[in-house]
Structure 1
Amino acid sequence: MNKLLNQIFGFQEPVDQKFYFTVGLSLMLGKYLVDMFVIYMVAGIFWTPIDYLIPLLEVRADKISEFPLWFYFTFIIWTLPFIWVGVSMTYRRAIDAGKSPWYVLGFFLPVLNYLVMLWLCIQPSKPIQTGKTDQKNTSSEDRFKHALIGVIASIIAGIAVILIAVFIFDSYGLSVFVLVPFLIGLIATYLFNAKGIRSLKESNWVAFIALGILSGSVILFSLEGLICVAMALPLAIPIVFLGAVLGRKIATNRVSYLQGGLPILILFPAFLAFDSISPQSSTFSVTTSVEISADINKVWDNVIEFNEIEQDPEWFFKLGIAYPVRATIEGQGVGAIRYCEFSTGPFVEPITVWNEPVHLAFDVIEQPASLQELSFYDNVNAPHIHDFFRSTNGEFRLTSVDNNKTLLEGTTWYKMEIYPHFYWRPISEWLVGKIHERVLKQIAFQSENPWHNNAN
């Protein structure tokens, strides 16, 4: 049993054709059947084999928008062991077949990874005579030299991918938030260990130093601001670690920098191209409610427009995230234009439903930047602050309850084109909820203190 587990999860036991095909196919079928059953039970959606074989959740935007928020995390945690097994077995199958360990990178190529795995399934065992390199007690100068080479090379690769993905393919997807940190860890630690294997601790330090310098570079060159970099780091750190482990492992085999890996490196732009496919944007919604001790008609008056919010914005809004300030309206009834002023500018909201005093609904035809980035510069060249998070429409519903009280519910529908959704959706929904709270508290305050309205 221990040997079987080592063959499946470890990095030492060889993997021949039969074992690779049998275990790989069994795990794929088993995971698909479990995924299909659980997704149907949780969301009432049939998960087809095509849904399973296309690895990017964002391509099935119409389906994943129906997933409960908690299910994103469960789905990813359940998937992680299968990713580990796929990486470790592909790495060992390539070596067993006499191929370069760099072919393990083929596992990460969307769609093309199946061709790489099928190709490895038909390769006979023919171990390459690379041997294992021993850990060397090299001088501090030599270690610094190779660490510097690894850091510089990984940063160049990372910035290149960011520029291509964002400014050529107009995409904030897996290329930016997954491929870049993976390459940072992989390249930095491989080059650091290529001439002599250093400890895992040292290798990780080199990888994370490269990540830190890259983060500072995109801020310095006005590609991103401090807020977005800080929000992306919790996702990037574990991916950098995975790349670092794999890069160091590949370096234990004496192969040249590009031996056998060139075909895979040539195919890697397919990752960028696949990531640039514009799927149907998922539409999500957030609803927040508050009970107000006031008559429904008073609440309605303060829903359609409210005074400037005097309460200080919370700390995260002070960092630059847009927050509501006041609301005004021009006209009455359907067709009236409501302006919800934010710290970065107005949302323009033509009224589509005016059912006084119980239901107000509106579209959003214009909106300001989602945040003002913290940076050394007045302007940050980050397209996502304008177009990648868009409110589409919203509504307020009012319900009279006992003792002259009103239940007020506010809902916002929005589209988000920053991926992966499993990471960014919880952040966006939390922020939208906080924006709701700020508005609803102001409406409640004005409704419960009518003298305040008169004073203003």
Structure 2
Amino acid sequence: MRIFSQLKEILKVSVPIDRKSFFISGTILFFIKYGIDRSLSYFVFNREWWAVDYIKNPTALFTLDPSSEDFVFYFTLIGFSLPFLYLGTILCLKRLRSIGLSSFWVFLFFVPALNFLMFFLLCVLPENLYNVPGSESSAEFIPKSKLIVSIWSILITASITLLFSLFSTDILKTYGASLFIGGPFIIGFTSVALYSRTEFVGFKQALLISASSISLAGFLTFIIAMEGAICLIMAAPLAYFLGFIGGGIAYLLQAKSRFVSSVLPFLFLILPSVAYLEANLGKESDWYMVETSLKISAPKENVWKGLFEFSDIPEPKELIFNAGVSYPVRARVEGKGIGAIRYCEFNNGVFVEKITKWDDNNSLEFDVVRQPDAMRELSPYKNIRPTHLDGYFASKKGSFQLVSLGKNETLLIGRTWFLNKFGPTSYWNVGIHWILHKIHYRVLDHIRNSVEVSS
């Protein structure tokens, strides 16, 4: 009877639970559940099950055929998980109330991968952190000096966001909206919210704190050789804009300090959850097309020959190419007609392109078979190679079209179809279009000069 009374007391949501008890209870429940799942997998379904499988492919059950063995396997595991879901929910609710956070955050317990991060956070945060504003438990986290608290809020925010960047790019292999939209917004919001807990923040001061946090996060990314200068410069306008929005919202919510304080710990848990979903949803990336045209004072026949017979393109003067973006140097074609191979040599490698359409004096189309890196990152470190160089941007197809504008005038049109896995695509496509126009113009202008001189 005494055991039953103790169990009833444990399951009471209104009874608080301290960090140590929560950690021990959660760990025991996890290993019991893992033992059951592993035993079911091995003895009933004759397959392996590891702890990492809990966070792999969270949408698997919704994409499987209900009659398949995999569906039955996952459905069985979920059935045996129900008691543990109930107990885990009760423990999380008790711990949230003990800390002083809203019970609303218990929904994070049901998000794969994020529930592990939530468990860690609930084990770390002290009791009554948000129950009594200005109490020692909350005040001990915040320095008193204005200068120190500003440095503290900026440094902590930038460092945590840097860890998320490593998680997103190096572990999940994704450069999505969570990184380029969520990251800067949370940097601005959190840095201002942390500072405003001890000192009222003016609007200009909020923007300054946001900008400083964004700048520090970018500097740390550069200094530890995660990224080079080119990508950071391209991302900067969006990052500062969203950072200012986040800082501005935190400035407006200063009167709601308790609400803001309860939200802060979980903003950094929501972010990796969204990144995790982005990495596992398997959405097909769209192709985009860039078109550049140039008038040439020569007949179509001469321009057609110029596509295959031109000298080396002079070294570029454009800053973007000298900074590290790859640029074309020369081109040649082996064979004739469909199936011929075009080699477009760039400063850092060769594009190998298979001809798919050959219409004399009219059009040439080709598929990209192999390509070099899109850039060599500008960095003080040698051989820096960020993850995004491995297929996140890729040229897929290209073409030249010749349109006669008169006896001795031809419009030469160059097109490139490309794949872009950076998010948001609408933002990154602006920079990609501009760079590809520069590359197109470099080739088309050299062909024009070569053909007009020979004519």
Instruction: Give me the TM-score of the superposition, normalised by structure 2.
Output: 0.66
| In structure 2, C-alpha distance between the alignment counterparts of 1:355 and 1:235, rounded to whole Å | 43
- Which of 290, 293, 296 is equivalent to 2:297? 293
Instruction: Give me the TM-score of the superposition, normalised by structure 1.
Output: 0.65
Task: Provide closer, same or farther for how the CA distance between residues 262 and 409 of structure 1 changes in structure 2, counting only shifts above 3 A.
Answer: closer
Corresponding residue for 2:412? Answer: 408
Are 1:153 and 2:156 an aligned pair?
Answer: yes
- Which of 220, 224, 239 is equivalent to 2:223? 220
| In structure 2, C-alpha distance between the alignment counterparts of 1:240 and 1:151, rounded to whole Å | 12
Residue segments in structure 2 that go unaligned for 5+ positions in a row: 1-99, 112-129, 135-142
| In structure 2, C-alpha distance between the alignment counterparts of 1:301 and 1:410, rounded to whole Å | 15
| In structure 2, C-alpha distance between the alignment counterparts of 1:193 and 1:405, rounded to whole Å | 66
- Which of 167, 170, 176 is equivalent to 2:170? 167
| In structure 1, C-alpha distance between the alignment counterparts of 2:257 and 2:438, rounded to whole Å | 54
- Which of 224, 233, 238 is equivalent to 2:236? 233
Aligned partner letter, 1:242: I
Are 1:435 and 2:439 an aligned pair?
Answer: yes
Corresponding residue SS for 2:307 = helix
Corresponding residue SS for 2:357 = strand
| In structure 1, C-alpha distance between the alignment counterparts of 2:306 and 2:266, rounded to whole Å | 64
Corresponding residue for 1:370? Answer: 374
The alignment yields a C-alpha RMSD, in angstroms, of 3.0
CA contact (8 A) 2:185 2:245 kept: yes
Corresponding residue SS for 1:202 = helix
Corresponding residue for 1:313? Answer: 317
Corresponding residue for 1:11? Answer: none
1:12-411 superposed matches below 5 A: 142-255=145-258, 259=262, 266-276=269-279, 277-310=281-314, 312-411=316-415
| In structure 1, C-alpha distance between the alignment counterparts of 2:102 and 2:249, rounded to whole Å | 13
1:273-328 per-position Cα deviation (integer Å, ceiling 9, x unaligned): 22223321111111112221223222111113422112633222211111111111
| In structure 1, C-alpha distance between the alignment counterparts of 2:345 and 2:103, rounded to whole Å | 56
Report deviation, 1:175.
1.7
| In structure 2, C-alpha distance between the alignment counterparts of 1:360 and 1:259, rounded to whole Å | 61
Question: After TM superposition, which residue ranges in structure 1, 4 or more long, deviate above 4 angstroms?
Answer: 98-103, 128-132, 260-268
CA contact (8 A) 2:179 2:275 kept: no
CA contact (8 A) 2:351 2:371 kept: yes
CA contact (8 A) 2:192 2:210 kept: yes
1:77-130 per-position Cα deviation (integer Å, ceiling 9, x unaligned): xxxxxxxxxxxxxxxxxxxxx986998xx9xx9xxxxxxxxxxxxxxxxxx999
| In structure 1, C-alpha distance between the alignment counterparts of 2:231 and 2:391, rounded to whole Å | 15
| In structure 1, C-alpha distance between the alignment counterparts of 2:104 and 2:244, rounded to whole Å | 17
Corresponding residue SS for 1:224 = coil
Report deviation, 1:258.
5.6
Corresponding residue SS for 1:334 = coil
Structure having the higher Rg: 2
| In structure 1, C-alpha distance between the alignment counterparts of 2:225 and 2:427, rounded to whole Å | 24
Are 1:446 and 2:455 an aligned pair?
Answer: no
Corresponding residue for 2:121? Answer: none
CA contact (8 A) 1:130 1:254 kept: no
Higher mean displacement: 202-211 or 416-425: 202-211
Report deviation, 1:204.
2.4
CA contact (8 A) 2:377 2:385 kept: no
| In structure 1, C-alpha distance between the alignment counterparts of 2:243 and 2:257, rounded to whole Å | 23
| In structure 2, C-alpha distance between the alignment counterparts of 1:343 and 1:434, rounded to whole Å | 15
| In structure 2, C-alpha distance between the alignment counterparts of 1:101 and 1:248, rounded to whole Å | 25
Aligned residues: 326
- Which of 417, 421, 428 is equivalent to 2:421? 417
Corresponding residue for 2:25? Answer: none
CA contact (8 A) 1:165 1:172 kept: yes
CA contact (8 A) 1:398 1:409 kept: yes
